[in-house]
Structure 1
Amino acid sequence: MDIRHLRYFIAVAEEQHFTRAAERLHMAQPPLSQTIRQLETELGVELLHRSTRSVTLTPAGQAYLERARAILHGLGDATEHVRRVAAGAVGRLVIGCVGSATYSLLPQLSRGLAEALPGIDFAFRGEMLVPDQVTALRNGDIDIALLRPPVADLGLTVQPIRQDRLVVALPAGHRLAPVERVRVKQLAGSDLIVHSADRRSVMYDVALGLLRNAGIEPHIRHEVGETSTLVTLVAGGLGVAIVPDPVSALRLEGVAYRPLVQPATTVQLAVAHRADRHEPHLARAVGVIHDLV
Structure 2
Amino acid sequence: MELRHLRYFVAVAEELHFGRAAARLHMAQPPLSQQVRALEAELGVALLHRTTRRVELTAAGSAYLQRARAVLGELDDAAHEAQQVAAGVVGRLVVGCVGSATYSLLPLLARGLTRELPGIEFSFRGEMLVPDQVLALQGNDIDIALLRPPVHDTLIQTSILRHDRLVVAVPDDHPLAARRRVRVAQLADVDLLVHAGRPHSVMHAEVVRLCRQAGFEPRFRAEVGETSTLITLVAGGLGAAVVPEPVTALPIQGVVYRPLVGGGRVALAVAHRRDREEAHLRRAVEAVRRLVDPS
TM-score (norm 2): 0.95
In 1, distance between residues paired with 2:112 and 2:150?
27
Which residue is 1:176 aligned to? 176
> How large is the RMSD of aligned CA atoms in angstroms?
1.4
Which residue is 1:97 aligned to? 97
In 2, distance between residues paired with 1:81 and 1:106?
29
In 2, distance between residues paired with 1:198 and 1:143?
22
**1:14-66, Cα deviation, whole Å (9 max, x unpaired):** 22222232333333322222221121112221111111111111111111111
Which residue is 1:288 aligned to? 287
Which residue is 2:159 aligned to? 159
Determine whether 1:226 maps to 2:237.
Answer: no
In 2, distance between residues paired with 1:194 and 1:237?
14
| TM-superposed deviation, 1:4 | 2.4
User: Structure 2: any 5+ residue segments left out of the alignment?
Assistant: none
Which residue is 1:272 aligned to? 271
Range with greater deviation from structure 2 (8-17 or 107-116): 8-17
In 1, distance between residues paired with 2:272 and 2:44?
55
Within-5 A mapping of 1:5-44: 5-44=5-44
User: Structure 1: any 5+ residue segments left out of the alignment?
Assistant: none
In 2, distance between residues paired with 1:277 and 1:20?
49
Using the aligned pairs only, state the percent identity: 65
Q: What secondary structure does 1:177 align onto?
A: helix
Range with greater deviation from structure 2 (183-192 or 23-32): 23-32
| TM-superposed deviation, 1:199 | 5.5
Which residue is 2:190 aligned to? 190
Cα 1:129–1:46, aligned 2, differ >3 Å: closer, same or farther?
same
In 1, distance between residues paired with 2:9 and 2:53?
17
In 2, distance between residues paired with 1:208 and 1:23?
79
Residue type of the alignment partner of 1:290 = R
- The aligned length equals 292
Q: Check whether the contact 1:17–1:53 (CA below 8 A) recurs between aligned residues.
A: no
Which residue is 2:56 aligned to? 56
In 1, distance between residues paired with 2:36 and 2:45?
11
**1:191-221, Cα deviation, whole Å (9 max, x unpaired):** 1111112454210111121122112332111
In 2, distance between residues paired with 1:14 and 1:198?
68
Within-5 A mapping of 1:72-91: 72-91=72-91
Q: Check whether the contact 1:49–1:57 (CA below 8 A) recurs between aligned residues.
A: yes
Within-5 A mapping of 1:113-262: 113-198=113-198, 200-261=200-261
In 1, distance between residues paired with 2:220 and 2:25?
81
